[in-house]
Amino acid sequence: MVVLLAGFSGCGFLTGGGGVIAFKRDWLSKLVMPVDGRLVPVNPERLRAADYVLFYYGANWCGPCHKAAPGVVDAYRRLKSMYPNFEVIFVSRDHSPEEMAIYMAKTGMPWPAVEPQTAELMPDVLAAGGSAIPAAVLVDRTGLILSSSSQGGKYVGVQPVLEELERLLKAPDAIPPTAATSAATPVVRDSVAARSIDKTKETVSKAQDNLKRAQDIQ
């Protein structure tokens, strides 16, 4: 089940990737977390080590969101201990910070959140989330959208986005894009590997030739 957001003024669903979300100081500096019943600021430096960020969209008034949140929390706790290089940000679609805090407390969310009024400073983030909740959007550290709850123009929910996050984190040769790397990086790595394989083949071939000569002499 999915809940459509009334009065949504964004651009609807994205198609699973290709867009970009800007990490802007005006909302990064306003990240909060509920602690002992009150909302406290979160240092945006917490995101510095994150190669991937998953935006989770939901609200306390949304029944399906209460069903979806435990799966996100479970995935976060399971993956975070093994792969600390990602973070989740809750984008609240509640009507007040108090309602947001209640929802986060009920579901045990252990990650930073964007309050409803702050979310209005994030038109690209809201547009990426689409017109229905619960939803999720996965981006790399540059803000490039890698996966979303809309794939091929259809709403697919949160689970496929979580699965893509896990796949990326577990990929043994994954090198997340950064400002310091380029698309040519994997090609360079493949080229080095190819030269290494060619060198090994050459060595083996010479050894085989030497062995054959030795056998001919005997």
Measured CA to CA, the distance from residue 200 to residue 114 in angstroms comes to 54
Whether 143 is in a domain gets the answer: yes
Average pLDDT, the chain: 77
Tell me the pLDDT band of 210, cut-offs 50, 70 and 90.
Answer: low
**Residue 186 corresponds to which amino acid?**
P
Structural domain count of the chain = 2
Q: Which pLDDT value is given to residue 217?
A: 52
113 and 34 part of one domain: yes
Tens-place pLDDT, residues 67-80: 999 999 999 999 99
Whether 120 is in a domain gets the answer: yes
**% of the chain exceeding 90 in pLDDT:** 46
159 and 187 part of one domain: no
Whether 175 is in a domain gets the answer: no
Could you tell me the pTM of the whole model?
Answer: 0.72
Whether 99 is in a domain gets the answer: yes
Whether 113 is in a domain gets the answer: yes
38 and 86 part of one domain: yes
Q: Which pLDDT value is given to residue 4?
A: 44
92 and 132 part of one domain: yes
Tens-place pLDDT, residues 27-56: 888 899 888 878 899 988 888 889 999 999
Whether 176 is in a domain gets the answer: no
Q: What does the buried/exposed string (b/e) look like for 186-214 if buried means 16 or more CB atoms within 10 Å of the residue's CB?
A: eeeeeeeeeeeeeeeeeeeeeeeeeeeee
Query: Which DSSP symbol is given to 22?
Result: -
Q: Which pLDDT value is given to residue 145?
A: 94
Check whether the bond before 134 is cis (ω within 30° of 0).
Answer: yes
Q: Which pLDDT value is given to residue 212?
A: 54
Higher pLDDT, 207 or 172: 172
Q: Which pLDDT value is given to residue 203?
A: 45
Q: Any idea what the CATH number is for the domain that residue 111 is in?
A: 3.40.30.10
Domain that holds residue 46: 3-170
15 and 91 part of one domain: yes
95 and 199 part of one domain: no
SS3 43: coil
Compute the average pLDDT of residues 153-171. Answer: 93
78 and 10 part of one domain: yes
Contact (CB, 8 A) for 56 and 91: yes
58 and 125 part of one domain: yes
72 and 161 part of one domain: yes
Whether 177 is in a domain gets the answer: no
101 and 33 part of one domain: yes
Whether 166 is in a domain gets the answer: yes
Tens-place pLDDT, residues 120-156: 878 889 889 888 999 999 999 899 999 999 888 889 9
Q: Which pLDDT value is given to residue 118?
A: 87
141 and 94 part of one domain: yes
139 and 212 part of one domain: no
Tell me the pLDDT band of 17, cut-offs 50, 70 and 90.
Answer: very low
Q: Which pLDDT value is given to residue 5?
A: 43
Q: What angle do CA 159, 183, 52 make, to 5 degrees?
A: 30
